[in-house]
Amino acid sequence: VSSIECDQFIARPPSVVWRALTEPDLLASWWARSDIKPVVGHRFTLDMGEWGVQPCEVLEVEPEKLLKYTFAEGALDTTITWRLEPEGQGTRLFLIHDGFEPDSMPLRRMGGGWPKLLAHLARTLSADRG
Amino acid sequence: VPDVDVFGALANPVRRQVLEALRDGPLAAGELAGRFELSRPAVSEHLAVLRHAGLITEEPRGRHRYYHLAADPLAEVYDWLHPFERYWRSRLGALRDFAESADFAPEKAGSAPEKGAPAPEKAALAPEKSEEEPL
């Protein structure tokens, strides 16, 4: 596996979902503090708490349709793509998180704050599981 | 399988090196201590963490104890994208809950019932309530 794809229906039009993805105040409400702007070439960070502040850069913008940026430069070196499609009265939101080295062994690539990130994630997930 | 401990155990560089050293075959604790210029107690501690995580197994041979790499938990780590997938599903759920919440009614929502009323600005955000994951 070298990429993750998920989708989610949201009972709000793409214009609303777009704002939740691109306006720092709104983004912080459901994910992470950020100085994101939907402008190609804009460099920003996502404050992932214990995971560390991750540097990112906007790669592609199609207002209310597509937002693509690099994610966790120097740590994961991956790309996140958000795609919005109208569906009925709402939006189908597609997420692609790709660029993971398919054959990379985590033993080798875990440096810096990433191990902590994984440990934290694992703790979270296991707590999740009850 | 205690996957929590797998990731925690792998977070330490010495423990990763111990695992790499064991890829070529079992080693005794003393041999490992020699390789890493660590005290025996320090090595024992790392070995205990790895053993607890199920990453290595211990085999007594005479007066010595040998350590083997255990394959299963590492296979789990190879599938390391799985936690990310779960993470994203939970984020997408959080986004849906947030965007659909009554408090988040941006002016562009399209279905605003009364046009005369001042559209709530983005300041009218829902206070964080159900954020069980501190990510």
Residue of A nearest to B85 (CA): A4
CA-wise closest residue to B9 among B105, B79, B77, B109: B77
Quick check: B30 contacting A, CB < 8 Å?
Answer: no
Residue of B nearest to A92 (CA): B96
* A26 with B122: Cβ contact below 8 A: yes
Residue A77: per-residue pLDDT? 80
Quick check: A115 contacting B, CB < 8 Å?
Answer: yes
* B109 with A13: Cβ contact below 8 A: yes
Residue of B nearest to A48 (CA): B135
Counting residues of chain A whose pLDDT is more than 70, the rounded percentage is 73
CA-wise closest residue to A93 among A32, A1, A21: A21
Residues of B in contact with A1 (CB under 8 A): 79, 81
Compare B89 and B2 and report the one with higher pLDDT: B89
Residue B76: per-residue pLDDT? 54
Query: Distance (Å, rounded) from C-alpha B31 to C-alpha A100?
Result: 35
Given a cut of 50, whether residue A85 has pLDDT beyond it is: yes
> Does the pTM exceed 0.90?
no
Query: Distance (Å, rounded) from C-alpha B41 to C-alpha B52?
Result: 16
By Cβ distance, the residue of A21, A51, A89 closest to B135 is A51
Residue A123: per-residue pLDDT? 52
Quick check: B81 contacting A, CB < 8 Å?
Answer: yes
Compare B41 and B121 and report the one with higher pLDDT: B41
Residues of B in contact with A100 (CB under 8 A): 81
* B98 with A26: Cβ contact below 8 A: yes
* B98 with A107: Cβ contact below 8 A: no
Query: Distance (Å, rounded) from C-alpha A116 to C-alpha B51?
Result: 20
Amino acid letter at A107?
A: L
* A122 with B6: Cβ contact below 8 A: yes
